[in-house]
């Protein structure tokens, strides 16, 4: 079961209604900056995890300054569209609401709340980078409760990792497919269902990458499955010239 750490109580709380009704995911982005993008990214991860759990989710953006440009920046990072949370009648009328907010920002809304630590771009222009997926991966490398700094070193490491994984996935895709081993599937789900632990998911992929006992066809399926949560376009280079 998908659980978050509720910023109001600092205790685990379910992110899905008991009867599988829809969950409204309301992102309260502080503005068009790196922290605002990180809030939207965590909300995107929450929507993805809910959908993988079989729970319908509705993504809404509330109270953002310069929301149109923020959403354009978010789209470049592979964050799926958010509807206007201020529009009358937006979202489903039943189910549960989970708010995603900046830690230490405005007053905590009523309802379960995920608090996201600030992100510092360290002089980098995250809106204009040639590799926005590297920004996404660099943000995913740290748990959303931890402050993150997107310096040149972190972004270079992310670009290198993405290039290596995409080459590997393209090569593995040419081998006979094999199912995702049950224990690996359980490890991935245990990570993202535990307060959206993206670093835990990445740790599983790093072990899978070098596990000598896994056939390449299984590696491919594992990476494709994990990418439904991570959203890193890991299969992008399949079919490209070697």
Whole-prediction pTM: 0.92
- Residues 216, 175: contact at Cβ < 8 Å? yes
Q: How far apart are CA 14 and CA 121, in angstroms?
A: 32
Residue 222 in tokens: 């594992």
**Given this model, what pLDDT does residue 122 score?**
67
Q: How far apart are CA 41 and CA 169, in angstroms?
A: 24
Residue 149 Cα distances to 34, 35, 119, 139, 153, angstroms: 10, 10, 6, 8, 10
Stated as kind and residue range, the H or E segment containing 99 is: strand 96-102
**Given this model, what pLDDT does residue 63 score?**
75
The domain locations on the chain are 3-116, 125-143+151-242
Question: Tens digits of per-residue pLDDT, 125-170?
Answer: 555 455 899 999 999 999 999 999 988 899 999 999 999 999 999 9
- Backbone φ and ψ for 38, nearest 5 degrees, come out as -65, -35
Residue 178 in tokens: 């094999």
**Given this model, what pLDDT does residue 62 score?**
86
pLDDT < 70: residue spans in the chain: 20, 86-94, 106-108, 122-130, 242
**Given this model, what pLDDT does residue 88 score?**
42
């Amino acid at each position: 079961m998908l659980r978050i750490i509720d910023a109001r109580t600092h205790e685990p709380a379910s992110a899905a209604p008991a009867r599988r009704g829809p969950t409204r995911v309301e992102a309260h982005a502080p503005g068009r900056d790196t922290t605002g993008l990180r809030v939207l990214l965590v909300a995107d991860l929450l929507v993805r995890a809910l959908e993988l759990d079989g729970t319908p989710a509705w993504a809404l953006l509330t109270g953002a300054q310069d929301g149109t440009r923020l959403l354009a920046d978010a789209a470049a990072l592979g964050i799926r569209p958010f509807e206007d949370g201020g529009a009358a009648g937006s979202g489903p009328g039943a189910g549960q609401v989970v708010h995603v907010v900046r830690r230490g920002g405005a007053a905590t809304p009523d309802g379960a709340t995920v608090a996201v630590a600030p992100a510092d771009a360290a002089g980098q222009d995250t809106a204009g980078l040639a590799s926005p997926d590297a920004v996404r991966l660099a943000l995913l490398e740290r748990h959303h409760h931890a402050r993150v700094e997107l310096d040149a070193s972190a972004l270079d490491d992310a670009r290198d990792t993405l290039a290596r994984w995409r080459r590997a996935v393209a090569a593995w895709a040419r081998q006979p497919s094999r199912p995702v081993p049950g224990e690996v599937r359980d490890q991935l789900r245990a990570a993202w269902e535990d307060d959206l632990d993206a670093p835990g998911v990445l740790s599983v992929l790093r072990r899978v990458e070098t596990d000598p006992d896994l056939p390449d066809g299984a590696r491919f399926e594992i990476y494709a499955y994990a990418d439904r949560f991570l959203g890193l376009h890991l299969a992008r280079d399949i079919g490209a010239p070697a």
